[in-house]
Chains A and B, each alone.
Chain A
């Protein structure tokens, strides 16, 4: 290296001039953004061209190539210079000397240099073994020297990439996934790495590489803008820190925002998050598309052989009305009519989340383009689907993001707009406000077995921080918004009040438990007054835990959990004076009595199916008097009267399951007949909905029910057959079912509570397990809230007395094992 002449001619006009010009460009402030990056690249090109011209002996057989970010002519103030000195191998000594004349001036200037000296064959070989080199070469740009050499390398590298794409794209996907795992998600982090995090600049580069493979393409809308935005932020970060860092640390936020001319750090983060969402959503869609193309290539020859050369037909299997699964994605059925079905987006989203599958980009776009707004209040099905979506656990996040990316969430919940991408400038918080809300719902979905109203828990989880971004206490602002949203979603007034209380008091338990004296009766009394009831307390406890778990690792610990549980226990003891409403015997309506009499007379089951429930007689009958009555429940009403006999519950439930009817609510009770008629009749008042299409006729249900009761119809076998015909989907993993004996809830019967994930035939299995245990179901109260079933069964022994304590626990334990198994 002693031979290097550091004071050659080029240097006088070169580095000195270059360094000064570079400094001028970066400090003058007249230019920023893409023009400045391009100008910096052009200036650097010019300088390197001069260095090359001064050092090169001959014009042929050697060229200087920019790769990576420099290849794209996008230089940030502190970017590395990625350079490749390409040569044909004819003059190794000359090339070594030339390399010294190029690299030393760069090093002397203190610039970071990423350099290599290779022949085209070496470059291709290295690229073949190292994905990062390959990606850099895809952006190769000629700077100086033998243009033919550069061009031939570019052509060869692109051709290699396209040929090897089926093998190398999966590697690239793994690389991206591994990086995302390590660096986290740009769109939510308070101190994100603009380059490495998921949705950052490297992902944008990977998308270009996928596009260059000609195998799949990214959704391009906004992608360039998003990349430009991140690069601008990185420029500002480099200038304010004076270092080549990509991590937007908390202490730099204000300065970077000022450098970019933004109002404040929140505005900066919001821009970064929005850009990251565009890129990470484009990545998700693109990688799924890559997977689809590669899979279809892999199976095509086999299918072709099978179909005799015909076009392969993709398999579709139904998930819900108007929603089908195709090739691992959820798409709209051919019969779906988004323009006439305003619930479709929520139904599709809930089905996707429950199945653990992504919503296809095409489906979301079509929904966004055609779907009509939901009426206010929402129809019951829309509310149920929202709750199902929220209660699906981890898969909810991806589905929610897909809806969000196309603006569907803001249309469903206009108040969402204010928390969208909103940063939380608090070291305890891991996520943006909107992601924290979804994350809380995800955490809450694991706690649904602990509360009697999972639907209220999930909606409160979604709304608890909705007041952030408004002046004043976010709990107070949030209460008002939550009240409004809950009513719009279609909850009745009592439920709206509970949701409002949960939002208003979501910090109450943690604050009180860690800062107040729990031994002081006044403390416990104050909490009891604020919460109001045992069931709200139970919901607030679950919400508190979900909220803390969704905040970050520092927000929840066994230390806090113990304190909160202690407080809840004390408040619960105080509230236990307020007994829960005993679902007492409802009065028998005229029609129920008519059916019961008919059943007693014929000795067989009698059915009535009605689309509308009976209007209660009263002055407000027209419904015009009050604007907001009780929201209409989902499904149609099914009344069944059967002479009292064993096996009624599983028989009815089984027949309904066979006919693909889902049970939303079910009431069962034994009624005594009017004077003069012998025997007792079981009266079942159910609300059912068809899984697909329309309802079957009552006559068909009746004939199947008759056969089920006399034992000629083997329901268990039929249901098992049907289950076997459907492929098992991985779907969500719901929390395990829980069966408990409610203590002292009734003097006449033992109350067994079941909380489980709703599934076809669930009630049939419960009913049969109870029959097998030799207990009689005196009455049953079954409700389905989203995907959660919350059921209470009032059972007695064969003699009609409550079960002894130990036996009740055994029955509950057996039932739980049956449901788990």
Chain B
């Protein structure tokens, strides 16, 4: 199993959810997150006062999938999240040792 994590622009959430559903993913976790990547913080002038935006609002999406699906799923997310501009975000995956469905006690791929 793999845990796929995507940190993307908030307004892409609906598209990503739809794409994942079409792919057959039934569960995901969404968190409101803040951060920055290569774009770094930038300085803005608002109402006459200068302030630094060092953390940009993002959405963090996490999905558990079987190993075979991981690569394809990453592609699906990347496609749905892309706007072509700076700050589109990042997607990565890590191996997962085990997963348990709390209600039934099912383990491994059955728990997905």
Contact = CB atoms under 8 A, between A and B. Distances in A.
Contact of B11 (A515, A558, A560, A743): A515
B34 interface: yes
Contact of A517 (B11, B34, B46): B11
A127 to B, nearest CB: 48
A516 B48 CA distance: 26
A10 to B, nearest CB: 48
A26 interface: no
B46 A569 contact: yes
A514 B9 CA distance: 9
B10 A563 contact: yes
Nearest to A740: B48
A559 B83 contact: no
A652 to B, nearest CB: 32
Given A517-B11, A517-B83, A562 B57 contact: yes
A732 interface: no
A559 B34 CA distance: 7
Q: How large is the interface on A (under 10, 10 to 19, 20 to 34, 35 or more residues)?
A: 10 to 19
Contact of B10 (A515, A565, A569): A515
A516 B32 contact: no
B2 to A, nearest CB: 27
Contacts of A563: 10, 57
Interface residues of B, number: 17
B39 to A, nearest CB: 12
A588 interface: no
Interface string B69-80: 000000000000
Contacts of A515: 10-11, 13-14
B57 A559 contact: yes
Contacts of B34: 558-559, 562
B83 A743 contact: no
Interface string A495-532: 00000000000000000001111110000000000000
B67 interface: no
A514 B44 contact: no
Nearest to B9: A517
Interface centre among B11, B33, B56 (most CB of A within 10 A): B11
Interface in A552-566: 557-560, 562-563, 565-566
Contacts of A560: 32, 57
B85 interface: yes
B32 A557 contact: yes
Contacts of B32: 557, 559-560
A557 B10 CA distance: 14
A515 B14 CA distance: 8
Interface string B10-25: 1101100000000000
A748 B17 CA distance: 56
Nearest to B44: A569
A417 B14 CA distance: 38
Interface centre among A557, A559, A563 (most CB of B within 10 A): A559
A519 B85 contact: yes
Contacts of A566: 57
Interface string A672-710: 000000000000000000000000000000000000000
Contacts of B57: 559-560, 562-563, 566
Nearest to B51: A565
Contacts of A516: 11
Nearest to A569: B46
Contacts of A559: 32-34, 57
A518 B10 CA distance: 10
Nearest to A517: B11
Interface in A411-468: none
Interface string B23-40: 000000000111000000
B13 A743 contact: no
A515 to B, nearest CB: 5
Nearest to B32: A559
A518 B48 contact: no
A553 to B, nearest CB: 14
A559 B48 CA distance: 22
A516 B83 CA distance: 12
Given A557-B32, A559-B34, A559-B57, A518 B46 contact: no
A519 B48 CA distance: 22
Nearest to A512: B11
A566 B57 CA distance: 10
A516 B57 CA distance: 13
A558 B57 CA distance: 9
Q: Give 4 closest A-B pairs by Cβ, nearest first.
A: A559-B32, A517-B11, A563-B57, A562-B57
30 contacts: A514-B10, A514-B11, A515-B10, A515-B11, A515-B13, A516-B11, A517-B9, A517-B11, A517-B83, A518-B11, A519-B83, A519-B85, A557-B32, A558-B34, A559-B32, A559-B33, A559-B34, A560-B32, A560-B57, A562-B34, A562-B53, A562-B55, A562-B56, A562-B57, A563-B10, A563-B57, A565-B46, A569-B44, A740-B48, A743-B48
Interface of A: 514-519, 557-560, 562-563, 565-566, 569, 740, 743
